[in-house]
Amino acid sequence: MDPATAFRAFTEEIDRWWLPGPINAFDSSRLLTMRIEPGVDGRVLEIYDNGDALELGRITVWEPGARLVFRSGVDDTEVDVRFASDGDGTRVTVEQYVLPDGDADTAGLFWPKIAHWLVPWCRAHDAARPVHRLAPVSVGLHYEDPAAAARWLADAFGLRSWDRIPAEGDAPDWIELHVGPVAILLFPLDGKRSPEPVTHQTWVYVDDLDAHLKRAEAAGATIVRGIGQDGYRAYTAEDLEGHRWTFAQAPPAMRPVDGAGR
C-alpha cells in the first residue's frame, strides 16, 4: 500500500480499523462510530448514538500522504502521524508527546498503542469489508504473564486477535483475543479490580443496564461495584458461588442478538 492510500485508510476509514471493545473508547456504551474530519482544524471524534460527540483532537497539520498532526482534546498531548514509502509498502510512525507545561500525570499516551490496529486492516484492505462486531458476551482472564499466555493460547488453541499477538518482551496494558465475535480479554493478576483472588470474569452486554441492575438486586445478587463509568458503563456482581460477572451497557453499534442477557 502506498503512502497516499495508507493516509486515506488512517483518516477516512478510522471507523473500520478502530477495534470495538469495552475499553477502547472514552464512552463505549454510547459509541456509534469514529470520525476524522479532513483538513486543518478538522476534528478527531467519538460519535455517540444521540448525536453528541467527544472531540479527541483537533488537526494542526494536514499533509495528505505524508503527515497528520492533531492536538488532543482530552489531555495535554499532541499526536504526530507520518507516512513514508518503505519498499513495496508504507511505514506509519505514530508519536504522542506531552506538550510543554502539560500535565504528564493525566496524559493518556494511547495512540501509539492502538495505531497498529491499522496494519491488519491495510494488509487485507477492502473499504467495503464489514466492520468488526462484538458478541454480547466477553470473557476476562487474569494471568501472571498475559503476553506469554496470549502466545500460548494462540499456538495451542488457535485463538486469534483483531489486533496482534504480543511478541516476546511486549507488555501491553491489555490483550484482546477473539473466537469469532467473542472477545477474550487478558489482564495481569496484579491489575485486577478487586483485592479478592480473581482468575476470570465474564462480561455481558445488556440493552438496559439500569433495569438489569434492579433485577439482579431484587434476586439477591451481591453487587460488588455499582454502575460506574470507566470508558464503559457497567456494574459488577457475584453469583451464588462468588464468581464475578460484569454487566455493561451494550453500545448502539452492537446488533441485537437473541438469547440470554439481552
Please give the single-letter amino acid code of residue 204. Answer: V
Look over the chain and give the mean of its residue pLDDT values, rounded to a whole number. 82
Average pLDDT score over residue span 19-32: 78
Residue written as cell 507488555?
171
Are residues 7 and 76 located together in one domain of the fold? yes
Are residues 14 and 54 located together in one domain of the fold? yes
Q: Which of 69, 3, 5, 4 is nearest to 36 (CA)?
A: 69
Structural domain includes residue 171: yes
Average pLDDT score over residue span 19-38: 83
Are residues 94 and 200 located together in one domain of the fold? no
Q: Residue 262 has what pLDDT?
A: 38
What is residue 157's three-state secondary structure?
A: helix
Are residues 145 and 94 located together in one domain of the fold? no
Between residues 33 and 22, the one the model is more confident about:
33
Domain hosting residue 245, numbered range: 137-249
Residue 133 to residues 83, 118, 136, 147, 226, Cα–Cα distance (Å): 28, 16, 10, 24, 27
Average pLDDT score over residue span 142-152: 84
Structural domain includes residue 261: no
Are residues 86 and 168 located together in one domain of the fold? no
User: What's the CA dihedral at 108, 59, 95, 26 to 10 degrees?
Assistant: 20
pLDDT tier at 257, thresholds 50, 70, 90? very low
Between residues 181 and 106, the one the model is more confident about:
106
Q: Is the pLDDT of residue 253 over 50?
A: yes
The answer to whether 71 and 98 are in contact (CB under 8 A) is no
Task: Show the cell assigned to 67.
Answer: 503527515
Structural domain includes residue 115: yes
Q: In the chain, pLDDT over 70 holds for what percent of residues?
A: 86
Q: Summarize pLDDT for 77-127 with one digit per residue, the tens.
A: 999 999 999 888 899 999 999 999 889 888 888 888 788 788 878 877 776
